Amino acid sequence: MHEPRPVANPVRGSRSIDKPVKFFDEALIEVVAGNGGNGCMSFRREKFIPFGGPDGGDGGRGGSVLVEADTNLNTLIDFRYQRVFRARNGEHGRGSDCFGAAGEDLLLRVPVGTVIRDLDNGETIADLTQHGQRVTVAQGGAGGLGNLRFKSSTNRAPRQSTPGQPGEQRRLQLELKVLADVGLLGLPNAGKSTFIAAVSNARPKIADYPFTTLHPQLGVVRAGQGRSFVVADIPGLIEGAAEGAGLGHQFLRHLQRTRLLLHLVDVAPLDPDADPVRDARAVAAELKKYDAELASKPRWLVLNKIDLVPAEARDALVKDIVRRLRHKGPVHTISAATREGLEPLVQAIAHTVLVAEPPEASAAPDPRFAEPPTDAQAEDGR
């Protein structure tokens, strides 16, 4: 069997190496498999052999359309301009016992993490999460039978053959969900881009205005010798994202594969009317509107820009935020700009996501910011 023919995209081939690639995480395409070749009805005719018998060959099968995950790709931009992909038809059978050649398969390469769905029935065909994982999305048609197949002791001169079968034709939705261990949540300008740039090899755009991040960013964080994890940063959420405010919910799908969410909160906003607690609640509410399962993932509270708060007022401010949010998980105070508190946070994340069953200590909240026990709890403690 020949290796499938990879699709040749003229747009991709003409792109400059230095030009940044736009991020596309959704595509609608149509795939058409090749038709099978028709079987041939033929009889051997040679000099001095008037009754040579049937010699019509079978038609070749049509080419199939396959999709393969490739770690060298990180966007679906190759499917933006070309929407219809056709595999080749099988050749027809011929006389002299000649069988038609099979149509060449067509191979489409997509980024790892791509989900393939059938647009007509909504069925998920495949979720490609490993490099080299391959799935057939449209099966080529079977080749027809030549009259050679119908020869028997009672039918020595068959005059029937069968046509080739048509190939499958499907409309598909390709949806990319990036593979990451940790996802960043927060309002625009909460410091997510500064954080991922400080702890990883990612170099996102950083500026003092909202929505500097327009598409997901991935960064690999080194937590020691042989220890690393991947962090995903998505554009900031604002209240009303479910109704399309800001960039909406369109990028939250990229957090669905993560094991841990970091909710970054700006504790020193420039707007005097801003309330970090109200903003954090708005982000949590939008997360729940999008997907209850995503909202149930472990979520750590990361209070950023702590360097802008006077040292003597930090503990009181953090305790007040945790108390009003009623946050039960871990709490970390950092300054992504000055790198204060980043190393303990990175080590805590690595200890949690790089082991199968993290110990309770890694998920316990900071005792400095724990709520005081109630009277009933104090009585039980005695």
Does 3.40.50.1820 match the CATH number of domain 1-176? no
- How wide is the angle at C-alpha 282 spanned by C-alphas 278 and 285, nearest 5°? 135
Can you give the pTM of this predicted structure? 0.69
Which residues make beta-bridge pairs with 136?
A: 66
Examine the pLDDT at 366 and tell me if it is beyond 80.
Answer: no
Examine the pLDDT at 111 and tell me if it is beyond 50.
Answer: yes
pLDDT of 206: 58
CA-to-CA distance for 258 and 234, rounded, in angstroms? Answer: 12
CATH architecture entry for 182-381:
3-Layer(aba) Sandwich (3.40)
Distance set, CA 37 to CA 56, 103, 166, 239 (Å): 13, 9, 9, 58
Using an 8 Å Cβ cutoff, are 5 and 105 in contact? yes
Q: Where in the chain is the domain with CATH 2.70.210.12?
A: 1-176
Question: For residue 238, how far is the Cα from the chain centroid?
Answer: 23
CA-to-CA distance for 12 and 28, rounded, in angstroms? Answer: 18
DSSP 1-50: -PPPEEP--HHHHT--SSSPPPP--EEEEEEEPPPPPPP---B--BTTBT
Quick: pLDDT tens for 152-199: 888 888 989 999 999 999 999 998 887 788 888 888 877 888 888 888
> Phi and psi dihedrals of 353, rounded to 5?
-90, -15
Percent of the chain with pLDDT over 70: 79
Examine the pLDDT at 52 and tell me if it is beyond 70.
Answer: yes
CA-to-CA distance for 187 and 237, rounded, in angstroms? Answer: 5
Average pLDDT over residues 299-310: 88
DSSP H helical ranges for the chain:
10-13, 192-199, 276-290, 292-295, 311-325, 342-353, 360-363, 375-381
Examine the pLDDT at 371 and tell me if it is beyond 60.
Answer: no
Examine the pLDDT at 356 and tell me if it is beyond 50.
Answer: no
Residue, of 241 and 254, whose pLDDT is higher: 254
CA-to-CA distance for 7 and 106, rounded, in angstroms? Answer: 7
Average pLDDT over residues 35-47: 90
pLDDT of 202: 64
Of 109-118, 143-152, 230-239, 365-374, the poorest mean pLDDT is in: 365-374
pLDDT of 226: 75
139: its two tokens: 């099966």
Quick: pLDDT tens for 196-209: 888 887 665 554 54
Burial 197-222 (b: 16+ CB within 10 A, else e): bbbbebebeeeeeeebbebbbbbebe
267: its two tokens: 């504790």
pLDDT of 141: 94
Quick: pLDDT tens for 188-243: 877 888 888 888 876 655 545 444 555 677 788 888 777 888 888 877 665 554 45
Spatial CA neighbour of 165 closest among 337, 76, 32, 37: 37
CA-to-CA distance for 333 and 314, rounded, in angstroms? Answer: 9
Q: Where in the chain is the domain with CATH 3.40.50.300?
A: 182-381
Beginning with the edge strand found earlier in the chain, give each strand of the sheet holding 331-333 in spatial order: 217-224, 227-233, 182-185, 260-266, 299-304, 331-333
Average pLDDT over residues 341-353: 89
